[in-house]
Amino acid sequence: MALRLSDILKQARRKSFVGRESELALFQDLIVQEDPSCYLLYLYGPGGQGKTTLLRRFMDQCEDSGLPSLYLDGRELNPHPTSLQEALLLATQTAHWDEVQEKIESMGKKVILFMDTYEKLSPVDDWVCKEFLPQLPPNVFTVISGRNAPSLTWKTDAGWKALMKTLPLKSLEPSEAIEFLERKNNIPKEEFNSILAFTHGHPLALSVVAEIYEQHPGKKFNPEASPDAIRTLLDIFLQQVPGPAHRTALEICALAQSTTESLLEGTLEFTDSGQFFHWLRQLSFIEQGKFGLYPHDLVREAIIADLRWRNPEWYAALHEKVRHYYLSKFRELSGDGQRRVLFDLIYLHRLNPMVKPFFDWQESGSTWMDLAGKTDLPILESMVEKFEGKEQAGHFLFWAGRPETTTWVWRDLEKNPVAFLQKIDGHLLERGFQSPDPAVARLLQYSERQFHLRGGEQLALFRFWMGAETYQAVSSHQSSIFLAIVQYYFTPGLAVSMICCAQPEFWKQIFDYAFISHLPELDFSSGDKRWGWYMHDWRKRPTMTWLDLLGRREIDATLHNAPPEEEEKTGWVALNETEFLNALESALKSLNDRDELNANPLLFSRMVLKDLGARSGPAEKIEKLQTLIRRELEAMEQSPTSNKYHRVLYRTYLNPVGSQERTADFLKMSFSTYRRYLRAGVEKLSEGLWKQEIEG
């Protein structure tokens, strides 16, 4: 038989086809069954996933098995029953619908009907399920291929549930994607990891990248430098976007780790966030998880890459809106909820090359955090000995038995500890405490010289942390431990935090990015292993200022602005309690005089700087100080024991009636009583504000 062009095309397709071994095997089993238990294979997946290409391979299998096949393409049909019937008439070469069944029965023992691009036929989906397919003869095996999973019509039909198999089509496995790239001789092997990180094994994306290298062999892969390639991908995914508001909802969904109705409402104040959430939920490339909706990895990458290239200012604005939403949620939550929001916040930095290598971005829900019990300690000790040696294991056990120490474990589903974190409250150790752990002993000496902790301020030392299998390597355990540490940074009263890390140079990049400083003078060794301490003084850069700076770092990287300097501080001043009281007296005397207040050291106190962020100016600091003083006075007014002092302070400073003698007369007090109440009132006011200062 003479060779035809179709044969050459088939050979070329087979040669370029990669992977899908399990799908091909499943289809082969279904079409050769003598006594079929399945009459429909429902294949679905996002655009560009290779569904049509796979159908062509299925058709080749049919030909190889001697089975006839019929092919209907939803792109070429009107979504109307008549259009489908006419298409089947044409495919079977029959003139009348009444003849179709007889013709198909005569074609062979089994006939395979392929219905491609089925999402285009969604208006007649019910009819296809209830009438079109049921009236075909029983020798027909149907393959439906579309972007969307089977509708409720199929899922709730008891007959089809028994006779149908569903096959969600995922991206290629990493090994399959590498095989695809290796077949393209012009793609440098050193670019494979970058290509896989962007494409996530998506077949169309891999094909687009291959086209880029056909035109530019040897090019360094950078998706944002290839807007035409991104456009090609987005054209596939964004055909279903009705308008700008829907586009914005999709961009938020791509930016956030997971999307909820409240995120859409809180970010852009949509009047009907439910409408947009429902629309997102119907998209073929959007999946549903425990915490909300999220897009297919490639869709997320493509939308973000396009947005950062096309409109970086809008990307920055969206980033800030989403970040502020998470910050507001963080303040409302505690425990696991806070850690969840922290992961969402950190996720906003995942594309930053300074951050990306140091986190496992695929959150694992298979472990949970718990306080360590006595039965856990031998297991944790063995972990430390395994990775750090006997000497360090002894130090771990010493601290585990101290009242100043808290040890948390991460348990697996069998409740076994698979990771742990140990914290020492350094501020609770007695002055002059002789630590048998040299690493902590040197740190405590350093703390006395450098930190000058005030009464009530806390020093947190994260001495030991590790995973049972991964130690301190980047992993889901390490990432979860880091989230717990970051959550602890918001503890009221925390002044200084320290974290001990093996191979301190490895962590320098991420900690420098996060304004957490390496103290090389405190590095220590045990055998051939080295550790170092990283420190942050939360009085100098409070948590909200810190988060503000991190957000700016991410935006500056996108807009190619100069990053905020590491030295940029809030100008915090450490006042002792007496200095604080004196500054408060001065502030009360000039409470309504901004020029006088501008020189008051309380403007640089921790309580004032806490929530302002790094970019606050003098006017904001003055307003914050005035607000704090007035709120504390209002609290005194409501207190049965402090109300009498409030009257004196109010008439002396907030709404004065003249000299102190005149104020005493106005309040019907002797001057000595007035002076006593005034002094006691200032001290009471200072006591309340000092508590805020220390707790941060």
Strand 111-116 relative to strand 529-537, pairing: unpaired
519: pLDDT confidence band, cut at 50, 70 and 90? very high
For the stretch 243-270, pLDDT in tens is 888 999 999 999 999 999 999 999 987 7
CA distances from 537 to 64, 314, 327, 366, 693 (A): 71, 34, 21, 34, 14
Specify whether 516 is located in the same domain as 587. no
567: pLDDT confidence band, cut at 50, 70 and 90? very low
DSSP collapsed to 3 states, 626-684: HHHHHHHHHHHHHCCCCHHHHHHHHHHHHCCCCCHHHHHHHCCCCHHHHHHHHHHHHHH
pLDDT of residue 365: 61
The mean of the pLDDT values for the chain is 87
Question: 568 pLDDT exceeds 70?
Answer: no
For the whole model, what pTM was predicted? 0.66
For the stretch 33-73, pLDDT in tens is 877 889 999 999 887 888 888 999 999 999 889 999 999 99
More confident residue, 494 or 558: 494
Specify whether 511 is located in the same domain as 420. yes
CB distance 683 to 581 below 8 Å: yes
Specify whether 145 is located in the same domain as 186. no
Specify whether 489 is located in the same domain as 616. no
More confident residue, 499 or 455: 499
Q: What share of the chain is helix, strand, coil (3-state, %, to 5)?
A: 55, 15, 30
CA dist 428 and 376 (Å) reads: 24
Specify whether 380 is located in the same domain as 284. no
Question: 233 pLDDT exceeds 80?
Answer: no
Specify whether 397 is located in the same domain as 533. yes
For the stretch 71-125, pLDDT in tens is 999 988 888 999 899 999 999 998 888 888 889 999 988 999 999 999 889 889 9
CB distance 245 to 287 below 8 Å: no
Residue 475 counted as domain residue: yes
Specify whether 678 is located in the same domain as 590. yes
More confident residue, 203 or 362: 203
Kindly provide the residue ranges of all beta strands, DSSP E only, lying in 15-126, ordered along the sequence.
Answer: 40-44, 69-73, 111-116
522-531: average pLDDT: 92
CA distances from 579 to 155, 601, 604, 652 (A): 73, 9, 13, 21
What is the total count of domains within the chain? 5
Specify whether 432 is located in the same domain as 406. yes
- The side-by-side arrangement of strands in the sheet containing 40-44 is 69-73, 111-116, 140-146, 40-44, 164-168
For the stretch 303-328, pLDDT in tens is 888 888 889 899 999 999 999 999 88
pLDDT of residue 300: 85
Q: Which has the minimum average pLDDT: 140-154, 203-217, 244-258?
A: 203-217
Amino acid identity at 377: L
Residue 204: which domain range?
174-221
Residue 201 counted as domain residue: yes
Residue 560 counted as domain residue: no
566: pLDDT confidence band, cut at 50, 70 and 90? very low
Specify whether 213 is located in the same domain as 268. no
Specify whether 295 is located in the same domain as 154. no
604-609: average pLDDT: 84
More confident residue, 7 or 481: 481
pLDDT of residue 59: 92
For the stretch 127-141, pLDDT in tens is 999 999 999 999 999
pLDDT of residue 182: 83
Question: How many residues in the chain?
Answer: 696
pLDDT of residue 425: 97
Specify whether 421 is located in the same domain as 533. yes
CB distance 557 to 576 below 8 Å: no
**Domain holding 500: CATH number?**
3.40.630.30
CB distance 488 to 497 below 8 Å: yes
Give the 3-state secondary structure of residue 592: coil
* Of 206-220, 389-403, 424-438, 682-696, highest mean pLDDT: 389-403
CB distance 684 to 636 below 8 Å: yes
Torsion from C-alpha of 123, 128, 132, 133, nearest 10 degrees: 160
Give the 3-state secondary structure of residue 100: helix
CB distance 668 to 676 below 8 Å: no
Specify whether 436 is located in the same domain as 534. yes
pLDDT of residue 295: 86
555: pLDDT confidence band, cut at 50, 70 and 90? confident
